[in-house]
């Protein structure tokens, strides 16, 4: 399961927080679209979580953990609160 978080745009396919939680519990191999940033964390059971902006730039949770890309000069570990780091503008969009 991959969760795509639309950061600053909509395409009317987004699911609510509760709908996404239900889909995560079902553990199906699907793609979910939402606006809820709460899923951008290492505790989320989804295979990957991607934040996308209206220009098509993105930040992938799995790439952060693997320290791939040029998101930051810091080494990211599971102990980091990547949602807070994102909200503090600590990452570079790819």
* Whether pLDDT at 28 is above 90: no
C-alpha–C-alpha distance, residues 69 and 62, integer Å: 11
Domain enclosing residue 41, as ranges: 2-87
94, part of any domain:
no
Asked if the structure places residue 9 within a domain, the reply is yes
Task: Indicate whether 92 belongs to any domain.
Answer: no
- Mean of pLDDT values over 41-61: 96
Predicted confidence band of residue 60 (pLDDT cuts 50, 70, 90): very high
> What is the mean pLDDT of the segment spanning 8-21?
94
Laid out side by side, the sheet with 31-34 consists of 31-34, 2-6, 48-52, 58-60
Number of domains in the chain: 1
How far is the C-alpha of 67 from the C-alpha of 9, rounded, in Å?
A: 27
pTM of the model: 0.93
Q: Would 74 be classed as within a structural domain? A: yes
Q: Which residue has the tokens 């570079």?
A: 92
With bands split at pLDDT 50, 70 and 90, how would you rate the model's confidence at 69? Answer: confident
Return the residue matching tokens 């320290």: 67
Element (H, E) at 64: helix 61-65
């Amino acid at each position: 399961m991959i969760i795509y978080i639309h950061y600053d745009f909509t395409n009317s396919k987004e699911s609510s927080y509760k709908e996404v939680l239900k889909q995560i519990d079902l553990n199906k191999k699907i793609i979910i679209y939402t606006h809820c940033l709460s899923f951008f964390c290492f505790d989320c059971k989804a295979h990957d979580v991607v934040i996308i902006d209206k220009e098509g730039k993105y930040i992938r949770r799995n790439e952060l953990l693997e320290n791939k890309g040029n998101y930051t000069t810091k080494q990211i570990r599971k102990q980091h609160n990547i949602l807070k780091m994102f909200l503090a503008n600590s990452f570079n969009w790819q």
